[in-house]
Amino acid sequence: MIPTTKPLVIITGASSGIGAATARAFAASGYPLLLLARRLSDMQAMNLPNAICRKVDVLDRDALKSAVAEAEAEYGPAEILINNAGIMLNGDPTKQSPEEWDRMIDVNLKGVMNGIHAVLPAMVARESGTIVNIGSIAGRKTFDAHSVYCGTKFGVHAITETIREEVSQKNVRLITLAPGMVATELVSHSTDDAAKTGWLAYAESIGGALLPEDIAEAILYACQAPQRVCIREIVICPTRQQP
């Protein structure tokens, strides 16, 4: 353990993509970390200082709370939560399986709420804390073959803003980070080849998607603002992305 005076940061979905890039950004700035994902070896392979890595599914409330308690015993109260875990299963709504709808609703909505539930009461009690929920441009406008995914991300935006209003007088910040096209493995989750091919073709047509590191820097910026400053929403897309 390297001595640090900075507070604990929790990141879900930390094994790849935006979560892993955000972990590296906060580690480079000296924050201790609790990294949570289903792929433990990928988190451990980053070999970040002051990082506790735990194999936790965000739908497992007990495991999530247990990991938070363990990390707080080591590094003190969790001051920042990055609710990043998510899944995108694009598809034709007349053909997509209800099981895929369930997976997106569970992870993208219930997973976010489970993360909030694990840290928000303590943040409100001590009147300090920041929660960043990863939404999407698909939580601000609709896209073909994204019907249920859009629904979950519209939900993330609504949940974040509603709770922000409810806890703002307790000096707790909630931030929605809404990325456009980002080059992560998220698109590979889709089982609809046409939807997947269309996403990749459009990304290529605009000169490429954003990098996970672009999103990580925006998250770090918002979190490092003084506690009196709440950057309520950041929408970040490739310059050439039109919608």
Does the pLDDT of residue 195 top 70, yes or no? yes
Least confident of 84-98, 123-137, 213-227: 84-98
pLDDT band, residue 198 (cuts 50/70/90): confident
User: Which pLDDT score, from 0 to 100, does residue 199 have?
Assistant: 81
Tell me the C-alpha distance between 96 and 63, whole Å.
31
Output the pLDDT for position 73: 97
Catalytic residue among 31, 75, 149, 202: 149
Percent of the chain with pLDDT over 70: 99
Summarize the confidence of residues 125-142 as an average pLDDT. 97
Q: Look at residue 200 and tell me whether its pLDDT is greater than 90.
A: no
The per-residue pLDDT for range 153-184, each reduced to its tens digit, is 999 999 999 999 999 999 999 999 999 999 98
Please state, in angstroms and rounded to a whole number, the distance separating the CA atoms of residues 100 and 152. 12
Domains in the chain (CATH in brackets) are: 8-234 (3.40.50.720)
Q: What predicted TM-score, i.e. pTM, was given to this entire model?
A: 0.95
Is 202 among the catalytic positions?
A: no
107 DSSP 8-state letter: I
Query: Is the pLDDT score of 186 beyond 80?
Result: no
| Residue 221, Ramachandran bin (φ over 0: left; ψ between -120 and 50: alpha; else beta) | alpha
- Angle, helices 212-224 vs 17-28, to 10°: value is 50
* pLDDT of the residue at 172: 98
Distance (Å, whole) CA 57 – CA 63: 8
Average pLDDT over residues 92-105: 95
The pLDDT, as a whole number, for residue 104 is 97
